[in-house]
Amino acid sequence: MVTLLWMGVSLLLLAQVGGALRNCHPGCRCEVESFGLFDSFSLTRVDCSGLGLGEAARPVPIPLDTAHLDLSSNAIRSLSAALLSGPGYTTLVSLDLSYNLIGAADADAFSRLRYLETLDLSNNALESLRDGCFAGLPLTEVDLSGNRLAELRLAVFSAKGQGGRPLSVDASGNQLTAVTRGAGGGAPELQSLTLAGNRLSAVPDALRGTGLRYLNLDANPVAEFGEGAFAGLGELTHLSLAGLEELRAVRPGAFRGLPNLQVLDLSGAPRLTELDPEVFGGLGALQELNLSRSGVASLPESILSHLPSLRSVTLGADVHCWKTQRQGQFHRQLGQAKSDQVLTCNVAAPAAVVL
Ligand SMILES: *[C@@H]1O[C@H](CO)[C@@H](O)[C@H](O)[C@H]1NC(C)=O
């Protein structure tokens, strides 16, 4: 009785919290989400993860108004336009292909997904991406982490032979042309890119000139960031460079040209032992710096003159530092911001960290 009651309550909750379920392909779960005044808008979220689609060459049938499709964990090995087309696919806004075995994607594999904004290709076996593969897609968020990419070419985001050459023809005979927007012809809409856990030894040139705000290059075999390493990425607000085990040097001026950067994660770089204050030149908006578990045990106090917006630094195993006014000078210095600020850390013996 209690169990029955509980099931009843759970079903009720499901109906209210999640959207309504509807019929769909066996093994998939299709959920309708309604919103707007009088639920006037609805979209369908389709979860076909873990079905073992494997070598299937035909697309999974999905409802016409599908916005989000999850095809993760399906042992899919390669991507083609034939696999990602058909009713429902053209209007997809997000596609999850993570945790498959994808080692290859045809240049036109995504060409039918003209409204695709979010693409998750993480944890696959991609060694490269074909030129033009993301061309003309309004992608804002791409996750390519956990692959085997050693480079990312500019042509990945732009159509071959610019000038709107047709890439393919859709079912009704309409030519699908790749529209190249933005001066660089790159990925003008791209805001977030995760490339963690690949084989990149440098910042890919393909990213320069994009409007990227979030970039993650964690756990790649980068040995050094030279002067201007992030040039052309002036819109970045978050830069994650954690777990760079090979990283030995960050040269002065490496972060030049990042006036909007707020968060910089350089944690977990054991071979990085020194950072010249000039490394931080140009980071006028930086608020958070993470150097925990890196070889850098101390920072010269002069970094503060380069980092006027800095609020917190993490160092060593568990040392947190905050910017404060030097004691005793506080009143006298009111109105004279910055001149007497120091970093104060939560260490028992402050001498352990020379700031
Ligand atoms: C700094 O990095 C470490 C290791 O990557 C992480 O555990 C920690 O949460 C980070 N700290 C902050 C303040 O972001």
How much is the average pLDDT of 280-303? Answer: 90
When comparing pLDDT for 44 and 13, which is higher?
Answer: 44
What pLDDT was estimated at residue 256? Answer: 94
What pLDDT was estimated at residue 7? Answer: 46
Range of the domain at 211: 27-352
What pLDDT was estimated at residue 326? Answer: 65
**Is residue 241 included in any domain, yes or no?**
yes
How much is the average pLDDT of 132-160? Answer: 90
**267 C-beta closer than 6 A to ligand 1:** yes
What dihedral angle (degrees, nearest 10) is formed by the CA atoms of 327, 331, 337, 339? -50
Query: pLDDT tens digit string along 39-93?
Result: 888 889 999 999 988 876 689 999 999 999 999 999 999 999 999 998 899 999 9
Ligand 1 centroid to residue 184 C-alpha, Å: 34
**Is residue 113 included in any domain, yes or no?**
yes
How much is the average pLDDT of 199-227? Answer: 95
How much is the average pLDDT of 310-321? Answer: 86
Instruction: Report the chain's mean pLDDT, rounded to a whole number.
Output: 82
What pLDDT was estimated at residue 161? Answer: 42
**Is residue 7 included in any domain, yes or no?**
no
**Is residue 18 included in any domain, yes or no?**
no
How much is the average pLDDT of 268-290? Answer: 94
When comparing pLDDT for 41 and 167, which is higher?
Answer: 41
**Is residue 308 included in any domain, yes or no?**
yes
- Is residue 298 scored above 90 in pLDDT? no
- Is residue 166 scored above 60 in pLDDT? no
**Is residue 15 included in any domain, yes or no?**
no
Residue nearest to atom 12 of ligand 1 (CA): 290
**290 C-beta closer than 6 A to ligand 1:** yes
Ligand 1 centroid to residue 140 C-alpha, Å: 26
- Is residue 179 scored above 50 in pLDDT? no
Residue nearest to atom 1 of ligand 1 (CA): 290
What pLDDT was estimated at residue 213? Answer: 97
What pLDDT was estimated at residue 297? Answer: 83
- Is residue 327 scored above 50 in pLDDT? yes
Please name the amino acid found at residue 253.
G
- Is residue 279 scored above 60 in pLDDT? yes
Spell out the residues 6+ positions from residue 252 whose beta carbon is closer than 8 angstroms to its own: 227, 276, 278, 279, 281
What pLDDT was estimated at residue 140? Answer: 96
Which secondary-structure segment (H or E) carries 2?
helix 2-17
Query: pLDDT tens digit string along 95-141?
Result: 999 999 999 999 999 999 999 999 999 999 999 999 999 999 999 99
Q: Which atom in ligand 1 lies closest to the alpha carbon of residue 290?
A: 1
**Is residue 329 included in any domain, yes or no?**
yes
What pLDDT was estimated at residue 160? Answer: 54
Ligand 1 centroid to residue 287 C-alpha, Å: 14
When comparing pLDDT for 299 and 256, which is higher?
Answer: 256
Residue 319 to residue 43: CA distance in whole angstroms: 47
- Is residue 217 scored above 60 in pLDDT? yes
Ligand 1 centroid to residue 288 C-alpha, Å: 10
Mutational test site, ligand 1, from 241, 247, 289, 292, max ligand atoms within 8 Å of CB: 292
What pLDDT was estimated at residue 182? Answer: 38
Three-class secondary structure of residue 3 per DSSP: helix
**242 C-beta closer than 6 A to ligand 1:** yes
What pLDDT was estimated at residue 36? Answer: 82
pLDDT band at residue 159 under the 50/70/90 scheme: low
**Is residue 46 included in any domain, yes or no?**
yes
- Is residue 243 scored above 80 in pLDDT? yes
Contact 239, 264 (CB under 8 A): yes
Tell me which of 103-107, 210-214, 327-331 is least confident.
Answer: 327-331
Of 173, 175, 156, 61, give the one whose Cα is nearest residue 114: 175
Mutational test site, ligand 1, from 262, 313, 314, 322, max ligand atoms within 8 Å of CB: 314
The count of structural domains within the chain is 1
What dihedral angle (degrees, nearest 10) is formed by the CA atoms of 53, 54, 55, 58? 20
Spell out the residues 6+ positions from residue 323 whose beta carbon is closer than 8 angstroms to its own: 304, 310, 311, 312, 341, 342, 343, 344
CATH number at 177 reads 3.80.10.10
- Is residue 10 scored above 80 in pLDDT? no
